[in-house]
A and B are shown apart, each in its own frame.
Chain A
Amino acid sequence: DTGVSQNPRHKITKRGQNVTFRCDPISEHNRLYWYRQTLGQGPEFLTYFQNEAQLEKSRLLSDRFSAERPKGSFSTLEIQRTEQGDSAMYLCASSPDPRDHYGYTFGSGTRLTVV
């Protein structure tokens, strides 16, 4: 297993279009997290899953955002009716156990540009 994989690496879309990102975590990790990172800022928590259950969503996650993790494996993050303010790096991380922090592994991210 080569770590957390995110696709695509880059996405350019027109305002108003829908986009979907995918995250494949490390296979034995039951926790999966999404963060958003804008230019010059640190990552901000969006949501997390334990297995297939979405247990918390940040207020940053507006109604246009939805995340799923069917069968507790890969996860998707969809943004509907994209806005220019959605332009950011979207990071995924996975963890086998919240107490084992060295297992909290980030992917390389998907960079979204809304034009």
Chain B
Amino acid sequence: GNSVTQMEGPVTLSEEAFLTINCTYTATGYPSLFWYVQYPGEGLQLLLKATKADDKGSNKGFEATYRKETTSFHLEKGSVQVSDSAVYFCALNSGGSNYKLTFGKGTLLTVNP
């Protein structure tokens, strides 16, 4: 079956530090890959996506590249801000008609000023 493995948290960084959150996946076929973010007390928000190998998703300074050869989709940001503090989820959809998502366990990021 499908699965997503994320780097264990929590991750604590100082403002302007470089961020990497690792994500690897197992899936049949050619999945689409996503990063979602959940701020305290809020619902999940789609941060970025990539739908085929070598695609790079980007949004709000965050980037992730779909690497089929390593089955990875690592999230990066060059300079984090306090406002980036949240839980980040890697997810995949392996296609089919239902378009349901399989999520990783999430990584809590705390950015200190």
Chain B: residues with Cβ within 8 Å of the partner, total of 23
Q: Is the CB of B97 within 8 A of A98?
A: yes
- Closest Cβ–Cβ distance, residue A110 to chain B (whole Å): 11
A101 to B91, CA, bound (A): 12
Judge if B46 is at the interface, Cβ distance under 8 Å: yes
Chain A residues in 8 Å Cβ range of B31: none
Q: Closest CB of chain B to A64's CB: distance in Å? A: 21
Shortest Cβ gap from B43 to chain A (Å): 4
Is the Cβ of B46 less than 8 Å from the Cβ of A104?
yes
Interface residues contributed by chain A, number (CB under 8 Å): 26
A-B pairs, 5 with minimum CB distance? A42-B103, A98-B99, A106-B43, A106-B44, A45-B100
- Asked whether, in the complex, the Cβ of A107 is within 8 Å of the Cβ of B43, the reply is yes
Interface string of A3-35 (1 = CB under 8 A from B): 110000000000000000000000000010101
Residues of A near B106 (CB, < 8 A) are 40-42
